Amino acid sequence: MKKVFAISGSTKSSSTNALYISAISHLLGKDFEVSVFPTIADVPHFNPDLDLENQPKVVSDLREALQKADGIIISTPEYAMGLPGSLKNLLDWTVSSASFSGKPVLALVASTQGEKAHQSIIDVLTVLEAKVFSQLIPFAKAKINFEAKITDQETLTKLKNTIHAFVLALENE
């Protein structure tokens, strides 16, 4: 069974991005064990003085979960024409640990617009040496219901294709 670690880029407890993570978990099926990071809101500001020694427990737990995962899912909104600061902060904590290096990452930007965040997450994950499989879902809230079912057929078809590529990368690990 492949282990997948998922991160919502939203600090909102009932976010659209959490719904997309649920939808993806369902689409992956029973051959995948998906665990979800509780909340990025608990990750302290990145501090290089604490990066290698005396790192906060939430950071060491995050790094451990990323290391154990065969693949990673990130679903994020776009805030102010870019990645949410809390998500970028979380990613900054992983630079020295190489937690994303060589790992397949399904990076989804589910937002109203999202083009800037989409390009940004691709750029950041590329620097982190991840194998990036990305998809932009503009007007994302209108394409999924509260039961985490994607209601827009075009979005669902594209997402299934992105998931398929992600799964192939996981199977080749």
Q: Is 20 left (phi over 0), alpha (psi -120 to 50) or beta?
A: alpha
User: In the chain, which ranges are E strands?
Assistant: 2-8, 32-36, 71-76, 104-111, 131-138
**pTM of this structure:** 0.95
| Mean pLDDT, rounded, of the chain | 95
pLDDT digits (tens, 9 = 90+) for 21-76: 999 999 999 999 999 999 999 999 999 999 988 899 999 999 999 999 999 999 99
Q: Which option is the CATH number for 2-171: 3.40.50.360, 3.40.980.10, 2.40.50.140, 1.10.357.10?
A: 3.40.50.360
First to last CA, the chain: 13
